[in-house]
Structures are given as C-alpha cells and as structure tokens.
Chain A
Amino acid sequence: MIQAENVVKLFDGFRALDGASLTVPTGSVYGLVGPNGAGKSTIIRHLTGIYRQDSGSVQMNGENVWENPALKEKIAAIPDDWFYFNPSTVRDMMRFYRGFYPRFSMERYEKLKEVFQIDEKRVIRRLSKGMQKQVAFWLTLCCMPDFLILDEPVDGLDPVMRRQVWSLVMGDVSQNGTTVLVSSHNLRELEDVCDHVGIMDHGKVLVERSLEQLQDNMVKLQVVFPEGVTEVPAELPTLHASKTGRVHTLIMRMNAAEAEKMVSAYHPLLAEAVPLTLEEIFIYELGGVDYEVKDILL
C-alpha cells in the first residue's frame, strides 16, 4: 500500500503540497488527476524518494520511502521526462538498471524486445520521443517492481502502443499484484485502467475514491416528464440539467435508486439512469466549487 499523509512541501515559500494525503491500496491502479500545477508531479517525486517532504509522511508498505534503498528496489518509476545517459544505447541503460535493481529480469527483457521492437544497440538519443518512452517502459517493467509510479506515462505513444503498454501494466497488476499510481490528464484513458481515483488541486488531494464509489455517488438520469411539465421541477436537487426535445438529462449527487424514487413523484413517462463517464464525474464534482475543469480534461 502506498500512503502519503499530510505531506507539505515548500518551494521558496510557495506551498507546492499543502497537506496532501492519498492512499493507494495494494494491487490497485490509482489515477491521480488534477489541473496543471496541482502538485501531481511533486507528490510523485516524494513517492519515488527524489524530494523530501517538509512535514507529513510518505510510506509504502509501512516503510518510509526517503533514503530507503531496500524499499526502493521494489519501486520503479517513469517520470514525464525520462532520463538516460546521453551516448547510451538501450542495452547500456539495461545494464545500468540491472546493476541497481536486484529483481531485474533478463528473461522479461528478451520477451519485451519482441513487443517493443526497438534495436537495443541504437543510441537512445537518436530515437523518437515515443520510442524513448517505450524504452522507459521496457526497462522499468523489467525491474519487476511491486510499486509502479507513472507520471504522464503514455504521452507521445501512438494509440496502438498505448494499448500495448497498458495491457502490459494490467498484466503485472493481475499476475504480480503490482500497485500502480498513474498521473494523467487523459481521463478517458484512466477510466479504462484505474480502479481508484484521486483529484488534486492547490497541493491537496480533494477527492479520493474508488471508481465504483464515485459512480455510485452521482447519477445521470434521462427523464421525460408528462405533458405540461416543460421545466425540471425546482425541488429536484440537480447539479446540472439539460434538455434535448422532451428528454431532460439530470445530473444528481445520489445513487440511481434514490434519484429514480425522487423523480417518480412527478410521474415521468420515462426515467432511466445511465452511467457517468469519469470525465463527467470530474466536471460535476469540481464544477460546483468553480474549478478549472477544462484543465484536467483533454
């Protein structure tokens, strides 16, 4: 389990993290989303042991991450701008990683060579940005980590390779119980892979729930009211309402059964709950407190 509690980090007086707390259950895939400057990369750098928090704690499996090489052998990370030594080839970097991670698997390295199809003797500097990202995944996954921390991991990858990469990650989660924390702006993509989500802004984690909980907490109801009722009754607690022809679409903060029961009082001709997308959940979760929702959406 990854656990950060009340983490505070100041950069020249600016509170980049202002009491951020998050919990990632073991074996889950946790999506961390938030607008630019929310503090996602900063908390990730704490989780990987690059930064030391000014206060609070950052732990994995109950152990502090900071200056804990034994724990860090189980952590692998791909930052948004992956570093490699300038004249190195893929093989050079593989040797380097192998020298640090005792669980580095050469067997997997050879297997993934077929997946990524990159000449291991090529100098990484000469590869395209997307191919460099593939190399990062290739080597990181070979470290056989218990904790995989990914910061904007699929930026620059083509759709086929994205699917491929996620498939590999999901395979690790299901087979090895790897705990994954991924930060991304691509909510549609996260929706497909994450089972837990945290929303960050202004250095804090505002909402942190499983995807099910989030979806259960909000409902999108399509309603056709009887003749004469042209507007949504004011008594209904809607977060948002729109109308297409005679069909009203209502977003309400409650579960589907409660919503349907509440609407039934107006004898609708049709009342049907439809699932919300992650994007919609964020829009309506954050919209009420005037957040820059557009910043967290593609």
Chain B
Amino acid sequence: MKLKTSFFNPTLYVKNLTRFWPLWGLTSFFGALIPISGIMMYLNGSMQRITPLELSQAYYGGVAYFAPIVMLCYCVLCAMAVWSYLYNARSVGMMHTLPISREGLFVTNFLSGMTMVAIPWVVTAFFCVILSLVCGGFAAGPLFLTILCVFGEGVFYFSSATAAAFITGNIFALPLLYFLFHFLAPLLESLIGTLSSNLVFGLSHIYTGVADWLSPTVYIVKRVKVNSVYTEVPYPGEPNVTTSVLQSVTLENAWIIFVYTLVGLALLGVGYVLYRYRKSECAGEVIAMNWGRPVFRYGIAALLALGGGQLLYIIIFNSFDLDQDPYHILPLIFCMLIAGLIGYYGACMLLAKTLRVFHKGTLRGVGIVAAGCVAVCCVVGFDMLGIARRVPSVDSVKYVRLYTANNTYYLFPDEDADVIEQLRAVHKSIIDERGYAQSAMKSANRNESEIDFTQNTYVTFRLSYLLKNGLSVDRNYFLYLSKDRMSEPGTYDNMMDSFVNSTEMKLRRLRFNDSRFRVESGNISVQKRDDGFEFSSRELSEILNAIADDTKSGNWGQYDWFENDADIYAVQLFFWYRVNGIEELSDRVLDNITVYLRPGMAHTIDALKRMGYVTDDDLITQEEMRKIWEERDRAEHRIYNPPEAYYEGETPLGSIIYPTEEVTTEAVDVFDAPETVPVTPQTAEATNPNGADNNPNSSPQTVPESSAASAGSS
C-alpha cells in the first residue's frame, strides 16, 4: 500500500531493513552480549549487586568513551548499505525511475539507516534494563540521558556519513572520505606542526589539539567525561578500615554531544542539497560533483606533499646523515614536490579511472603543485611571516609563562613589567643569535662525548606569552650554553644567567608570598636511605619559611647551569602548588618545584633535623652518592658476569655469587637503592622537568614520577 506522501516509502524502508539485516543483526548480537554476560555473571554469583549509581557510571562511560568509537565505524557501514544504490549505474537508474522523488528517497533511506543505527542500541538498552532489574540498580534518569546522548551521537555520525555519501560516487571511496573528514584536523595539525617546528626557529612540535573540535570523535572522547565522586566510609564491621563509596555520577560536558547533534542535522541538510543536485551519471566516480574534483586533486596533492614529503625527507636525507633538525629547505622542496606530484597524479588517476593521465593537460596542475611546495617551504623556512622573530609587547600580554633552569615562572605585566621587559630582551638575543644557537647545537650533538659538562651545558628555554586577545605565542628553544660566553656581555648565555639569577627571579622561584600559588603538599626524598616522607601542612609552612630564610641569606636560589654535584646533598624536597588567580589554570594542582638541599642551607637543614627527616649521616653530596652507585654497578657486574671458574664446577649450579668481602656491605646496601636514570642532555628535561635548583646535568638522580606533572608540561 503506497503512502500518499512522497516523502516516505514504507516499501523501500522495509526493503532496506530486510536487505541489510546481517549488519544490524550482528551488531545487535555483539551489543547484547555485554549486558547478557553481566546477567550471567550475576546469576552465577561472580558479580555483586549493582547500585543505580554504578549503573549510571557504566552508562555514562559508554556514552563518553565507547559509543563515539563504535558509532564512528558502524554508521559508515550503515551509510554504505542504504546509499549503495547511488554507486552503480544500474541501481541508480532503477531507483530514480521509480515513482518517488529524491526527497522521498532521501528521507526513506535516511530513516531506514537511522533505524539500522538504532536497533543494536535498543537491543543493548533492553538487556541493560533487564540487567539492572535483575541486579537491582535501575536508574531511569541516567538511562534516559544515555539514550538521548547515544541517539544524538547516532544522528551526528550517520548524518556525516550521509553527507560524505553524496560527495562520492564510489562505495569504496565513501569510508575513506568519511574517515579523512573525521580525522583531517588532527592530521593536518600534526603535519603542519612538524613542518613548521622544523623550519621555524623556536616553534615546538607540541600537539595542541586546537582543531580537535573538527574531529568529533577525538573531541568527545577527550571532553565528555564521567564525573564520579567517591567518599570514604568505614568498612561495615571494621571501624578502622575505610572503603570508597560512589556518592554521585554526572556526565560532564554532555552539551558537546547536543551541539554535534545539531551539526549532524546541518550536515543532513548539506547531504540533501547535494542529493538534489547530484547527477545520476556520476555513479562510479570518485568525486560526484564537478567542483569537488579540483578540490580532491589538489587536496590529496597537498596532503601527500605535507605528510609524504616529510617522510621522504626523513628516509632519504636523514639516511645520508644530514642534520635532522631543522629541515634544509632545498631537499625539503624536492621531497615535497615528489610526494605532491605522486598525490596529484594519483588523484588524477582515481578521477579519470585510468593510468593514462600523463599528458599536457595536467602540466598546469603540476605547476600549481610545484609552486605550492616552493611557496610553503620559502614562506615558512625564510620566516616571511615573521613568526620566528615575533616577541609580543608587554602591553599585549596577559601573562608570561617561562620554563627554564628547571623551574616554571609566571610573570604578570601589572607587577612584573620590568621583569617581562628583561625576559623579552633575553628572547630577542636568542632570536638574534639564531645562527650561532643552531650551529652550536648541531656541533654539540655531533661531538657530545667530547663535551665538558662542567664548562658547557644544554638548557631548555620555553616561553608562553598568553595574549589579551586569547591567543598565545609559544616558543621553545633548546640552547647550548658555555661558561666562556656566559662571561661575555650581550650573549644570550650571559643574558639568561643574569636574568635567571636576578633577585626578582630567585624570589619567584620559591613562590614566596605569592598569593596565586598555595602550597598543596610536599615531601622529601633521602637518597642514601632510599626513603621518602610526606610533610604535614604545619611542617610544609615551617620548611618553606626556612628555605625563604636561606634565600634571603643568599644560601639558596643561585642557579648553577653547569655540572657541579659536589655542592648538593642527595636530599631533595618537592612542593606541589595549587594555582589560583590564573584563569586558565585556576584551582588545579599543576605546578611544583624541587629544592635540592645544599650545605649552606642552615635554616632548612636545621628544620629538617628538628622534624627528624634527616640526620648528619644522610647529608652526603651527590658526588658521594654517585660513587656509591658506581660501586653498586661494579658489584652487579661481578654478579651477572662471574669469573670463568664458576662455570668450571667450583660453585654449585643455582647458588648465588656474592661480591668480594670488602664490598659486600656496600653492595647489599645499594641493591635496594632506587632505580636511576642516567641524565643525558636529551633526557635531562624529561627526567628532571621542573623545579630543581641545580645541576640538570649532574650525576644520576632519582626523580619521582609525579614531578613530571609540571605546569610547564601541561
């Protein structure tokens, strides 16, 4: 029975569902398996009763982390099914001969596709409800929210697949285009980031995710969170033992799914318009619209030039031992051109459905690709846009974040205008000496084994100017410093040393009396005993005051850029700060500092002794500690590489060979010593990222994992 309206045809709707039942049937089966297995586990006693909150947590987890990825893959399969008739001349002919308008075909096919998307979720939800009823955790509100969110995600993903379906006339091109659209933004950011960081002095290759919103799967998984609040309560029958109890569960940033649902509806409109103007004869074409073909041709060329060009550069030129960083412009142009032309001609072949595309008609395209590659490399490589030279003025800055000398500093124009000016001067001097900075690093990399780290060092100088307009200017310099240049006025070495060791910056280092930083926690590591303790809040305050007294008396705060571990005790103090008053970081524990205990820090040592955390015996220097480690290494070497006599039967197989007697005590002592990471110039920052007041290149140090979570790395 035909419906009077031409917008929906029940015959076609049912036909779609019956034709493609294996797709939604199999997905429903796998979806139902999860709650069914839960029911089984509950019935055989291997799972406890579920509270409504725990069930809500599971629902929301599905919405935030599971559904986007499943929808991403499943919706494109549904789209390939319901729109498959568009990709074959015979089927498109038959469907468009039928007495139904394109609106009717569009609406009916979309609804049948959405039904196919929804069925597995309905089936899964049905079994989830049974599970919740069986296990006693039914939660109607969260279930309703989950259904809404999953439906919204379904609308978005299926609509985006529908829009992609009308761009192409080839069924195999549909999933490729769909995934390309979904992940184009992060891909481009990575490729452009790699290229520019290797061509622009000071630009670092850090994935910012600034365009993640264009990649909804990434954005939803990153932003939509399950917010679970637990409280500690006494364990039933055990008043001295506590257990965590789920107090509340919310779905954070669920509005993002709602926004993407609206975007999905907009994409659906785009899909409809594309269908209205789609020509039936484009069945089989990679790109259905005439205007889309040059976009595809040059888009693929650009993507290949960026990605493939850099890959070729790494394979070809790095194999010839050219310096990896930065890129050399001419070889890069060559590689980008080769990859770009491969992309261009590949796209031409796909569009023309023939390999015979090398003719005069494509020369114009070759010229455009070549000009594009040269232009991009020259504009970026020769800094024609002035990116590398940019140093924002104090007026335009909201605040500046600086990471150097193993410490993070925050400077505000209202209070630190002079300090920021000094910092800008240092920044300018680094830019002015770009040539020297790059050649010195290359030279140092090549002759690393010959470097005397008591006279030279590597250092990270990372700057973030947060601008008043909301943007930020981020620069990251990995610099080579030498004692000789540090004594020469005007060099960046000299200016950095003067700046970091100025009185203002020393006080900044401890965040003393800075209302924006409230110390949250702190602990001490005593390396000789391989022991650590957490300070109480009262102790924290006392120790920070003691360090401040030492700072005022000049016994702490002078940063020594070079290796000098005879002057530091093998005792470190770590302090974590909660940041307030900085909008972007507000109320987050993001910042920490590390204080290395030094012989002159009488106030601090006295306080620590009084609290019982250190004794005179613990106060050995890093140099002495290193000797102990070296001895341990030798002992281990003897154990794991025993003399040949061992193998000749003098010692029974399986027995333990202990070190010789004079080292036994030491060896046993250090067997339990913490695992160490030798600090090389490359790993210096990674192993000791923040807050150390001395010697990034000193002897092996034990760095707690948590210290890596610094503001600078956030």
- A residues near B (Cβ < 8 Å) are 11, 45, 48-52, 67, 69-73, 75, 77, 79, 81-83, 85, 87, 95-96, 98-102
- Bound CA–CA A67/B2 (angstroms): 17
Q: Contacts A52-B279, A83-B90, A85-B19: A72 and B99 contacting too (C-beta < 8 A)?
A: yes
B103's nearest neighbour on chain A, judged by CB, is: A67
Q: Contacts A69-B99, A100-B99, A102-B2: A50 and B11 contacting too (C-beta < 8 A)?
A: no
A96/B15 in contact, CB under 8 A:
yes
- Bound CA–CA A267/B537 (angstroms): 137
Q: With an 8 A cutoff between CB atoms, is B190 at the interface?
A: no
Contact with A along B1-13 (1 / 0, CB 8 A): 1100010011110
A85/B15 in contact, CB under 8 A:
yes
Q: Contacts A67-B101, A85-B15, A100-B98: A79 and B279 contacting too (C-beta < 8 A)?
A: no
B419 to chain A, nearest CB (A): 66
Contact of B10 among A75, A81, A87, A99 (CB under 8 A): A99
- Bound CA–CA A48/B279 (angstroms): 14
B99/A50 in contact, CB under 8 A:
no
17 A/B residue pairs, CB under 8 Å, sorted by A = A45-B93, A48-B96, A48-B97, A49-B97, A50-B97, A69-B99, A72-B98, A79-B97, A82-B94, A83-B90, A95-B11, A96-B15, A98-B11, A99-B1, A99-B12, A100-B9, A101-B2
Given contacts A49-B97, A69-B99, 18 further A-B contacts (CB under 8 A): A45-B93, A48-B93, A49-B96, A50-B97, A72-B97, A72-B100, A73-B99, A75-B97, A79-B94, A79-B97, A83-B90, A83-B93, A87-B19, A99-B2, A99-B12, A100-B2, A100-B9, A101-B2
B352's nearest neighbour on chain A, judged by CB, is: A12
Q: With an 8 A cutoff between CB atoms, is B280 at the interface?
A: yes
B97's nearest neighbour on chain A, judged by CB, is: A48
Contact of B280 among A50, A72, A81, A87 (CB under 8 A): A50
B14 to chain A, nearest CB (A): 8
- Bound CA–CA A70/B101 (angstroms): 9
Q: With an 8 A cutoff between CB atoms, is B281 at the interface?
A: yes
Contact of A79 among B10, B15, B93 (CB under 8 A): B93
- Bound CA–CA A101/B94 (angstroms): 13
Residues of chain A within 8 A of B281, CB atoms compared:
11, 51
Residues of chain B within 8 A of A85, CB atoms compared:
15, 19
Q: With an 8 A cutoff between CB atoms, is B91 at the interface?
A: yes
Chain B interface category by residue count: 20 to 34
- Bound CA–CA A51/B6 (angstroms): 19
- Bound CA–CA A62/B671 (angstroms): 98
Q: With an 8 A cutoff between CB atoms, is B424 at the interface?
A: no
Residues of chain B within 8 A of A75, CB atoms compared:
97, 99
10 tightest Cβ-Cβ pairs between the two chains A and B: A99-B11, A72-B99, A83-B94, A83-B90, A73-B99, A69-B99, A48-B97, A50-B96, A100-B98, A69-B6
B290's nearest neighbour on chain A, judged by CB, is: A12
- Bound CA–CA A51/B279 (angstroms): 7
Residues of chain B within 8 A of A79, CB atoms compared:
90, 93-94, 97
- Bound CA–CA A212/B102 (angstroms): 41
Contact of A69 among B15, B19, B93, B100 (CB under 8 A): B100
Residues of chain B within 8 A of A71, CB atoms compared:
99
B90's nearest neighbour on chain A, judged by CB, is: A83
- Bound CA–CA A75/B97 (angstroms): 8
Q: Which of B1-55 contact A (CB under 8 A)?
A: 1-2, 6, 9-12, 15, 19
- Bound CA–CA A67/B93 (angstroms): 13
Q: With an 8 A cutoff between CB atoms, is B104 at the interface?
A: yes
A78 to chain B, nearest CB (A): 10
Q: Which of A49, A95, A98, A100 has the most CB of B within 10 A?
A: A100
Residues of chain B within 8 A of A67, CB atoms compared:
101-102
Residues of chain B within 8 A of A100, CB atoms compared:
2, 9, 11-12, 98-100
Residues of chain B within 8 A of A81, CB atoms compared:
90
B693 to chain A, nearest CB (A): 71
A69/B104 in contact, CB under 8 A:
yes
Q: Contacts A95-B11, A99-B11: A69 and B101 contacting too (C-beta < 8 A)?
A: yes
Q: With an 8 A cutoff between CB atoms, is B122 at the interface?
A: no
- Bound CA–CA A170/B629 (angstroms): 104
Contact of B11 among A72, A73, A83, A96 (CB under 8 A): A96
Q: Which of A77, A83, A98, A101 has the most CB of B within 10 A?
A: A83
Q: With an 8 A cutoff between CB atoms, is B92 at the interface?
A: yes
